[in-house]
């Protein structure tokens, strides 16, 4: 009894001194302290919560996003409190008994433990001048620490104190906190720590860099004290295996570099993505193997993206290959390049939707000259040949260029340009920049944008936000065309990498000068986009629509459909099937188009080809005014058409008209009268 009395008097004495030395502590709130100590790494999880990628942002230490104490494994919490602070939930910052024994042994020059509670250790994290964590404290520092711990207990809850402790305690090497140590040493989340893992982590808290022998001895003592009864040999072997420094980097992954850079650049903490770890590994392997196969054809780079049509999630995102890439930091999925023929399905869907043509409409695949500004546009086919009369279905499936140009003449360039913007191609230049060549994919687009647009067709015309961008009827008809191996056989043959054992719709594309090769297609469940080429812009050699990107596309599709079936898209009730073709209401022919071969009459539209709408002209002060002219030009002209400028009849439209510019804003019309016109544009002269 006397001993307990002396102990209490001694403890009160030290508390009294500490109050005079250090009082009125000012601590940050728990949330402030948490925000000041963010993790050093981005930990990217896949859809099944596997670590798929880590990206380090801070190189002074290694930690991850804070975990609440209540989310940690009960095994670890039990072992921690037993070893470090048995009365944590009972005391108010200081364990009187533990502190007394520590001071008493210190006075008698005997070995002693610090007697610090978890709260006292957290105080040392908040106030570095209080020492600790490998540094000896003076009596003054110890007394100030005691008072500060008492103050902290009034400001923070027990759960907040424990949470700060487990996330900020220095651990082995550069590791800080139990959460990152759990990943680094065992590759498990802190909530999954078993008893052996918990023993190892807890004994490392007091001496993070202790040798194996000391760790084993302390762990065995703690095992006995907790009465966990883990067999000695089993525990010793486990400790030896997981204390090995070589294993501390096993949790670090590099499987989604370009994805993390694009969507999580600069972020830290644990983030769950829609990626699939196993699919990502397969896609990387497929792309690598196929690029190696065409290496001798000057193909160095590639990229793949896989989308889930139902959720819109990105399941795989491979922007390049580290060991093979000519520029490993370039992201081929987000980089913009010429689209080639991959834009044609959106052109034909527009023409079908507007009832300008049907799948059975006959288009002429023969030489074509179109008037353009200062010249003639003469498109050609990939193989330099012509097939004469072909149906729109064959023209699209076989990727014929001249019928596509005839189609954009019918839909109008601005109308197709607007449709592309609605589909998500947000970085297009003005439509006049491309002209008729927009039908052949001269626009620069990204693989991500392109694949998203194809997934819109897979969703019957709805984009990822649920907006109806393309009519469901036109989407279905174009999807049917892109899935028809017979329709594409004119160019690709019946058996090739475009043909799958399950229903799929697919399109290839190759840009000018063989710089880019694309293959994008979809099933009822997935959309896959593949690009191959060279980041440098060098041309490939002997790469066709089915030898570059196509093999990767098919391999990925077959991998995806090992588990999931693919069924044909549901035909809208309004779509009519007749003579082997699908039609919108009121567009089906009265006789078999396979016999009659009714063709679309192709006429040049009546349009002002120059100036274009919105142009701004500047009068050149260095050229005499009488020598300056703006040449008005038109296409599809007839004998009864005239030029009208701001209501005034100027001249007959039978040849280009030179007009002397004057400052002002003008409206120019092409027609029979000012009110009866075929085309109208506005321009400015400054």
Q: How far is CA 476 from the centre of its chain?
A: 27
Inform me whether the pLDDT recorded for 112 exceeds 50: no
- Collapse the DSSP code of 356 into the 3-class scheme (helix H, G, I; strand E, B; otherwise coil) and give the result: coil
Average pLDDT of the chain?
85
- Tell me what the mean pLDDT of segment 310-337 comes to: 90
- Tell me what the mean pLDDT of segment 192-200 comes to: 94
Inform me whether the pLDDT recorded for 121 exceeds 50: yes
Inform me whether the pLDDT recorded for 3 exceeds 50: no
Q: pLDDT for 540-552, tens place per residue?
A: 888 876 788 999 9
CB 138 within 8 A of CB 157: no
Domain ranges of the chain: 1-36+75-165, 38-66+169-252, 336-596, 607-685
CB 593 within 8 A of CB 360: yes
Helix H or strand E encompassing 323: none
Q: pLDDT for 232-271, tens place per residue?
A: 999 999 999 888 766 667 777 889 999 999 998 878 878 8
User: Which letter does DSSP use for residue 310 in this model?
Assistant: T
In this structure, is the dihedral angle defined by the CA atoms of residues 600, 605, 609 and 612, taken in order, positive or negative?
Answer: negative
Query: Does residue 117 or residue 552 have the better pLDDT?
Result: 552
How many Cβ atoms from other residues are within 10 Å of residue 156's Cβ? 20
Query: Does residue 610 or residue 439 have the better pLDDT?
Result: 439
CB 598 within 8 A of CB 589: yes
Q: pLDDT for 168-182, tens place per residue?
A: 999 988 889 999 899
What is the token pair recorded at 181?
């140590």
CA-CA distances (angstroms) from residue 498 to 339, 452, 489, 523?
18, 19, 11, 12
CB 492 within 8 A of CB 498: yes
Q: Exposure string (b/e) for 608-630, b if CB count within 10 Å is 16 or more?
A: bbbbbbeeeeeeeeeeeeeeeeb
Q: pLDDT for 640-650, tens place per residue?
A: 889 999 989 99
Inform me whether the pLDDT recorded for 422 exceeds 90: yes
- Tell me what the mean pLDDT of segment 403-431 comes to: 94
- Collapse the DSSP code of 35 into the 3-class scheme (helix H, G, I; strand E, B; otherwise coil) and give the result: helix
Q: Do domains 336-596 and 607-685 have the same CATH topology?
A: no
Residue 602's pLDDT band (boundaries 50, 70, 90)? very low
Inform me whether the pLDDT recorded for 5 exceeds 90: no
- Tell me what the mean pLDDT of segment 403-415 comes to: 92
Inform me whether the pLDDT recorded for 458 exceeds 60: yes
At 129 the pLDDT is 64
Which one, of 440, 447, 443, lies nearest residue 396 by Cα?
Answer: 440
Q: Checking DSSP bridges between strand 526-533 and strand 581-583, what pairing results, if any?
A: unpaired
Q: Environment class of residue 589 by beta-carbon count within 10 Å: exposed (0-12), middle (13-18) or buried (19+)?
A: middle
Query: Does residue 78 or residue 139 have the better pLDDT?
Result: 78
At 23 the pLDDT is 46
Phi, psi of 284 (to 5 degrees): -60, -45
Annotation: CATH topology of 607-685: Immunoglobulin-like (2.60.40)
What is the token pair recorded at 326?
């000519």
At 546 the pLDDT is 75
At 339 the pLDDT is 94
Highest mean pLDDT among 151-155, 429-433, 458-462: 458-462
Residue 18's pLDDT band (boundaries 50, 70, 90)? very low
How many Cβ atoms from other residues are within 10 Å of residue 658's Cβ? 11
User: Which letter does DSSP use for residue 462 in this model?
Assistant: B
At 99 the pLDDT is 56
Q: pLDDT for 542-587, tens place per residue?
A: 887 678 899 999 999 999 999 899 999 999 999 999 988 999 998 9
Q: pLDDT for 470-516, tens place per residue?
A: 999 999 999 999 999 888 877 776 667 788 999 999 999 988 778 89
Residue % of the chain over a pLDDT of 70: 87
Residue 305's pLDDT band (boundaries 50, 70, 90)? very high
At 9 the pLDDT is 44
What is the token pair recorded at 89?
């939930």
- Collapse the DSSP code of 78 into the 3-class scheme (helix H, G, I; strand E, B; otherwise coil) and give the result: helix
Please tell me the CATH code under which domain 336-596 is placed. Answer: 3.40.710.10
Residue 95's pLDDT band (boundaries 50, 70, 90)? low
Inform me whether the pLDDT recorded for 601 exceeds 50: no
At 327 the pLDDT is 84
Window from 185-194, 270-279, 364-373 with minimum mean pLDDT: 364-373
Residue written as token pair 């409190």 = 81
User: Which letter does DSSP use for residue 496 in this model?
Assistant: S
Q: 501: phi > 0 → left, psi -120 to 50 → alpha, else beta; which?
A: alpha
Q: Exposure string (b/e) for 371-391, b if CB count within 10 Å is 16 or more?
A: bbeeeeeebebbeeeebeebb
What is the token pair recorded at 536?
């440098």
At 7 the pLDDT is 47
């Amino acid at each position: 009894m006397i001993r307990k009395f002396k102990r209490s008097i001694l403890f009160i004495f030290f508390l009294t001194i500490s109050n005079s030395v250090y009082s009125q502590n000012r601590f940050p709130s728990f949330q402030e302290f948490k925000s000041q100590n963010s993790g050093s790494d981005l930990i990217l999880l896949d859809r099944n919560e596997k670590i798929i990628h880590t990206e380090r942002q801070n190189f002074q230490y290694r930690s991850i996003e804070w975990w609440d104490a209540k989310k940690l494994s009960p095994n670890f919490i039990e072992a921690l409190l037993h070893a470090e602070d048995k009365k944590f939930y009972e005391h108010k910052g200081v364990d009187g008994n533990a502190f007394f024994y520590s001071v008493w042994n210190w006075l008698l020059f005997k070995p002693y433990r610090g007697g610090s509670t978890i709260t006292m250790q957290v105080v040392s994290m908040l106030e570095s001048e209080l020492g600790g964590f490998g540094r000896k404290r003076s009596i003054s520092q110890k007394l100030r620490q005691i008072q500060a711990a008492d103050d902290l207990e009034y400001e923070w809850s027990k759960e907040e104190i424990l949470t700060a402790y487990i996330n900020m305690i220095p651990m082995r090497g550069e590791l800080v906190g139990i959460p990152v140590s759990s990943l680094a040493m065992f590759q498990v989340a802190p909530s999954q720590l078993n008893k052996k893992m918990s023993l190892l982590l807890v004994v490392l808290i007091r001496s993070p860099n202790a040798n194996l022998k000391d760790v084993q001895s302390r762990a065995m003592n703690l095992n006995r004290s907790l009465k966990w009864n883990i067999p000695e040999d089993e525990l010793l072997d486990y400790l030896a295996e997981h204390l090995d420094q070589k294993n501390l980097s096993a949790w670090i992954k590099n499987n989604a570099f370009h994805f993390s850079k694009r969507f999580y650049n600069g972020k830290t903490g644990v983030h769950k993505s829609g990626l699939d770890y196993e699919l990502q590994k397969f896609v990387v392997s497929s792309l690598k193997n196929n690029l190696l196969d065409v290496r001798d054809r000057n193909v160095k780079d590639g990229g793949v993206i896989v989308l889930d049509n139902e959720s819109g999630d990105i399941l795989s995102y491979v922007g390049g290959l580290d060991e093979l890439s000519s520029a490993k930091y370039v992201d081929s999925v987000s980089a913009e390049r010429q689209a080639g023929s991959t834009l044609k399905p959106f052109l034909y869907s527009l023409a079908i939707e507007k009832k300008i043509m049907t799948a059975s409409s006959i288009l002429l695949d023969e030489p074509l000259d179109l008037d353009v500004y200062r010249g003639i546009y003469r498109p050609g086919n990939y193989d330099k040949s012509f097939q004469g009369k072909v149906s729109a279905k064959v023209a699209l499936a076989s990727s014929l260029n001249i019928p596509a140009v005839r189609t954009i003449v019918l839909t109008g360039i601005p109308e197709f340009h607007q449709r592309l913007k609605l589909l998500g191609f947000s970085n297009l230049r003005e439509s006049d920049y491309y002209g008729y060549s927009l039908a052949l994919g001269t626009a620069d687009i990204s693989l991500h944008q392109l694949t998203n647009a194809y997934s819109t067709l897979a969703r019957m015309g709805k984009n990822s936000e649920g907006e109806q961008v393309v009519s469901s009827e036109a989407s279905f008809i174009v999807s049917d065309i892109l899935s028809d191996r017979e329709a594409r056989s004119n160019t690709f043959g019946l058996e090739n990498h475009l043909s799958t054992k399950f229903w799929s719709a697919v399109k290839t594309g190759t840009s000018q000068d063989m710089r880019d090769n694309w293959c994008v297609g979809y099933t009822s469940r997935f959309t896959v986009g593949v690009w191959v080429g060279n980041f440098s812009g060098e041309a490939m050699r002997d790469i066709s629509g089915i030898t570059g990107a196509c093999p990767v596309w098919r391999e990925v599709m077959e991998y995806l459909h090992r588990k999931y079936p693919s069924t044909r898209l549901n035909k809208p009730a309004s779509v009519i099937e007749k003579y082997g073709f699908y039609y919108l209401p009121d567009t089906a022919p009265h006789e078999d188009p396979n016999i009659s071969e009714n063709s679309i009459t192709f006429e040049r539209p009546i349009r002002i080809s120059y100036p274009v709408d919105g142009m701004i002209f500047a009068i050149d002060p260095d050229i005499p005014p009488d020598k300056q002219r703006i040449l008005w030009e038109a296409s599809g002209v007839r004998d009864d058409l005239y030029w009208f400028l701001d209501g005034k009849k100027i001249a007959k439209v039978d040849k280009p008209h030179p007009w002397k510019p004057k400052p002002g804003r003008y409206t120019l019309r092409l027609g029979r009268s000012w009110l009866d016109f075929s085309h109208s544009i506005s321009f400015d002269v400054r």
